[in-house]
Each structure stands twice: as C-alpha cells, then as structure tokens.
Amino acid sequence: MTIPVVRFAPSPTGRIHIGNARTALFNWLFAKRHEGRFILRFDDTDLERSREEFAASIEIDLNWLGIAPDLTVRQSQRFGLYDAAAAKLKDAGLLYPCFETADELDRRRKRQIARGLPPVYDRASLALTDEDRTKLAAERRRPHWRFRLDHRTVEWTDLVRGASHIDCASLSDPVLIREDGTYLYTLPSVVDDIDLGVTHVIRGEDHVTNTAVQIQLFQSLGSPRAPVFGHHNLLATATGEGLSKRSGALSIGGLRDSGVESLAVAALAVLTGSSDSVHAVASLHDLMRQFDLSHVSRNAAKFDPAELTALSARTLHALPYESVRDRLAAHEIAGFRAEAFWLTVRGNLNAFSDAADWWRVVEGEIEPVIEDGGFAMTAAALMPDEPWDQKTWSVWTSAVKDKTGRKGRALFHPLRLALTGKEQGPELAALLPLIGRLKASARLCGHVS
Ligand code: GLU
C-alpha cells in the first residue's frame, strides 16, 4: 500500500463536536497505522462565516485528543489555485455560465416534480447562444457556473461501504462558483486533494453524493487517479438526534471542560457504530491497533453521552503513570512518590481532578474524622516503626485487633476515617506508607495534619 496522505477538512464556523472528532480520528488512526501523513485543512472559503477563533479552537481540540497534524493549510490562502482550475475547466467547456435566478430554478423544479420527472437541472443555460449571453451581460446579469457532468455511472470501491456507484445522469450539473464569484466547497476540495497528494478521503456519509461529481472533477483536472474514498456512518444520540456544530451539543471543548478523559472520548467516538464493542483503551496507539474502517457499520452510529462518564472512569483506572506524569505535575503532583501515588489512587478516580484530593491526603493537610477517641489513641500507640511498606497495614491492624478485640468494619472503618477523612478510597495498605508515620499518628490523635 502506498503511504497514505489524509485530510480532515472542517470549516472553522463553529466548535467541533464528537461526531467531527470521529472523522478526524478515523483519518488520523488510518494514516498513522500505515505511517502516513495527516493534513488539517481549514475549509474557510466562506470568509463571512469563518472565524480565526474557531480555527484556533479546532487546533486545541485536536491537540487535546492527541492529534498533531503534519501540515495545516487554509483554503482562504489558496484562491489562486482554484482560479487556475476554474479557468482550465472553462477552457475545456466543462464549466459553463448559468443565468437562472433562484426563483426560476425553483419554479422549474416544481414543474418537473408535478410531471413526475426528477428535479434535475435541464441545462437551459448551456443552450444559450453568444448573442443571448451578450444580451444578458448587457442587463448586468451575473452568472453562476456549473460543472458539466458526463452522464455516465461513476463507480468506486468505498473503504466502508464496498462497491458503490452513482448514475450521474440523475444529478444536476453542480454549481461550483456562485454569482458573486465565491466558490462552493466542491472545486476547492478537489483542487487541494490533488495539490496536496491526498490518497484517501475519509469522511461522513453525508458526502457520498458528492463523490461521483468529485471523481469526475479529478479526471477533468487531469489527475491520474482519484483518491480512495471511505464514507463512515454518522454519529447520533440514542434518541436518533444528529449532532449540530452550531448547537454546541457535545462539543469537544465542552467535554474537555466537563473533565472527561480525551482517550475515553476517542474510544467512544471510534468504537461506537462499529462491530467492536465500546471499551476503555490504554492509549491512542492501542486504539489504532484495534481500528479497522471495514468494521464501521452501515447503520447509524447511536451513542449514549451518559456512557462517557463511566468510560472515562474506566479509562483512568488503567492509565499508566508515564501517560499522566505531565498532567500530574501540572497539579504539582510530582517527586519520587508520584508514581506509587498514581498507582494507588487511579482505581478510585471518577475524574482526573480527583487525584488532587488524594494528593492532599498523602502530602497535605486534612481534617481527620475521629469516631472513638480512645480506640484511635490505642491504634496510634501500636503503630510500627518506619520504614513502612505495603505489609505495614496488616501488621499494624493485626496488633490493633488483638489489643481491642475489634474486627471487620468496626476495626478498619474508624482507621480509614481518621487517616483519610473519607468514607471510602484506595486500599489503605498502599495508602498508609504514602501518608507516613508522622501524619498518621497526628491524625489518629485528632490533629489537622
Ligand atoms: N468541509 C467539508 C465538511 O466539513 C469537508 C468534507 C470533505 O471531507 O470532503 O463537511
């Protein structure tokens, strides 16, 4: 297989949501699995609606997910290429001016439907003579430009959907350039895919109908070979609702702020709607090894956002220290005890930020909860000398048991409350050596420590 070059091509007109992230991840995982390149392409030809702040937020969101583009391009800086391609198509008679107004087109479509005909553009403008055009120009009518489709069936082998075809005779010649001279998405996308050497176009199935047109454009622009296409199913909530960029529903930024793990978002996005069950993964690399576009189902990919919290917790519970070292350091959880600390507490975290509470238990000050002062003092007096290790807890609690006759919950629970100030938490056998003798005995004596 040639080394793939893929692109993720959002319009920076809003923040990206988990459905967009899914497309980005499919591209990223596919490229990296085959040691290929990932291009981030901002489809910002709509200068009115595109915003720099959205482009910046998309870069931040991708970065949070673990996606670092090999190249970033902006269509707004590439108009020269599109103009040259348009001129080439015009010279070849493949891009022709049309003068119908939106109202006229609408009336025609309605007439066609009333007669039981498909509402396909009738190419009336293609039949205009030079004289007609001069007259229209004199009336200051500005044309929009349509691509003249070859009325044949275009076939391709889709990476997700398998053998696919579209009969172009059933399509209207697509408008590539609007009356005001601005480009619709179709032409710039193909021009860039050619110029940047894109080998695989992986995108949502809402683009399937564009594919036949785009394949014809690749051929008309002299590209030796169109890319391989793969159209994945779209993500919808359990109630079947689609995700909208504008509504901000399940935006990546919102999910990040809610404290869920990026890896859980990635696993949910990638594994939902495929033949693989949704489960926690240890790293993006792990997800990459499991990922296969041909496992993506053709049915809608329904997911339950509530699953994310549980998946996020399960993800945290298995994260190795190396993958969280920097994030812990950002919470000032560092030093020679940091790794042992992480391995001790990770299984009890619902969100990463909970780690800071447990760091306070081992490093900072907490208010102990003393249920029975006499019992606590007896336990304090029986504490073994340091050094402490994982066995200290059982040695110590056996001694406390022998002395007080307590066992089970009556023995352990008051000790947990005194040592951590909390009802529940990580194994005390692992936590106790991290707390240390000094703090432990102070807490058993009821001191804030
Ligand atoms: N800007 C287009 C979109 O977001 C890109 C589609 C494509 O990948 O070709 O839908």
| Angle (CA) 423 425 431, round 5° | 120
Spacing of C-alpha 312 from chain mean position: 14
Distance of CA 4 from the midpoint of ligand 1 (Å): 18
Domain ranges of the chain: 1-74+185-318, 83-177, 319-363, 373-444
- Residue nearest atom 5 of ligand 1, based on CA coordinates: 9
* Fold agreement (83-177, 373-444): no
pLDDT tens by residue, the chain, 449 residues = 789 999 999 999 999 999 999 999 999 999 999 999 999 999 999 999 999 999 999 999 999 999 999 999 999 999 999 999 999 999 999 999 999 999 999 999 999 999 999 999 999 999 999 899 888 888 888 999 999 999 999 999 999 999 999 999 999 999 999 999 999 999 999 999 999 999 999 999 999 999 999 999 999 999 988 999 999 999 988 776 777 655 566 899 999 999 999 999 999 999 998 888 899 999 999 999 999 999 998 888 888 888 899 999 999 999 999 999 999 999 999 999 999 999 999 999 999 999 999 999 999 999 999 999 999 999 999 999 999 999 999 999 999 999 999 999 999 999 999 999 999 999 999 999 999 999 999 999 999 99
- Residue nearest atom 4 of ligand 1, based on CA coordinates: 10
| Angle (CA) 167 171 177, round 5° | 135
Ligand 1, pocket residues at CB < 6 Å = 9-11, 43, 185, 189, 203, 207
The CATH code belonging to domain 1-74+185-318 is 3.40.50.620
Ligand 1 pocket, mutate which of 6, 11, 205, 245 (most atoms under 8 A from CB): 11
The backbone torsions φ and ψ at residue 151, rounded to the nearest 5 degrees and listed phi first, read: -80, 70
Distance of CA 9 from the midpoint of ligand 1 (Å): 5
Tokens for 228, please give them.
Answer: 């391989």
Distance of CA 376 from the midpoint of ligand 1 (Å): 65
pTM exceeding 0.85: yes
**Which amino acid appears at position 407 of this protein?**
K
- Residue nearest atom 6 of ligand 1, based on CA coordinates: 9
Which atom of ligand 1 is least distant from the CA of 201?
A: 8
Rounded Cα gap, residues 121 and 123, in angstroms: 6
pLDDT of 244 reads: 67
The topology under which CATH files domain 373-444 is: Arc Repressor Mutant, subunit A (1.10.10)
Which atom of ligand 1 is least distant from the CA of 43?
A: 1
Ligand 1 pocket, mutate which of 8, 183, 189 (most atoms under 8 A from CB): 189
- Whose structure tokens read 């081992």? 362
Distance of CA 52 from the midpoint of ligand 1 (Å): 18
Rounded Cα gap, residues 32 and 289, in angstroms: 10
**Which amino acid appears at position 196 of this protein?**
L
Q: Are 48 and 42 in contact (CB under 8 A)?
A: no
The SS3 assignment for 306 reads coil
Rounded Cα gap, residues 175 and 184, in angstroms: 7
Spacing of C-alpha 211 from chain mean position: 23
Rounded Cα gap, residues 241 and 231, in angstroms: 20
The backbone torsions φ and ψ at residue 122, rounded to the nearest 5 degrees and listed phi first, read: -85, 5
In this structure, how many other beta carbons lie within 10 angstroms of the beta carbon of residue 386?
Answer: 11
CATH class, 83-177 region: alpha beta
Rounded Cα gap, residues 432 and 209, in angstroms: 63
Ligand 1 pocket, mutate which of 207, 234, 243 (most atoms under 8 A from CB): 207
